Amino acid sequence: MWRDLGDRLGVMVDLSRIAGVLAVAGRAEAAARVLSRADALREETGAAFEPWNVRMNEETLAAIRAQFDEGAISEAWEQGRELTLDQAVMLALESLGVKARSRGPASREPS
């Protein structure tokens, strides 16, 4: 929804939340890529994570580190930073098992 509304800050927070869910679910690589894109989005917008979001992201990184070695984390992190915002949203949703749709008029389903 945030993506469709053009609210990049909302997307940033939701990507962080989804990364946490993915990490707990044992999907460390996807979690690292999604969290990395959230962090890149924070940098792009000049926004700051709220203190609760910083704590959540630290917990997510700890869960990722428990499943992944540092080399694999670094590689996934770099891959995440290269994702477009749409690709990150698609990865996040598909990693959760949600059928994601592409953005754009041609992809919109009739109401």
Token readout for 101 is 């749709």
Q: What is the rounded CA–CA span in Å between residue 93 and residue 55?
A: 23
DSSP H stretches of helix in 1-111: 2-5, 8-24, 28-45, 51-67, 70-82, 85-95
The predicted model scores a pTM of 0.80
Going by C-alpha positions, the residue among 51, 22, 26, 48 that lies closest to residue 35 is 22
Query: Would you write out the chain's pLDDT as a tens digit for each of its 111 residues?
Result: 656 666 678 888 899 999 999 999 999 999 999 999 999 988 888 887 788 888 999 999 999 999 988 899 999 999 999 999 889 888 888 888 887 666 554 333 332
Residues whose CB falls within 8 Å of the CB of residue 110, separated by 6 or more in sequence, listed in order: none
In terms of C-beta density within 10 A (0-12 exposed, 13-18 middle, 19 or more buried), how is residue 21 classed?
A: middle
Given this model, what pLDDT does residue 9 score? 81
- pLDDT value for 4: 67
Give the pLDDT score at 5.
Answer: 60
Q: Look at residue 101 in the predicted model and tell me its pLDDT.
A: 62
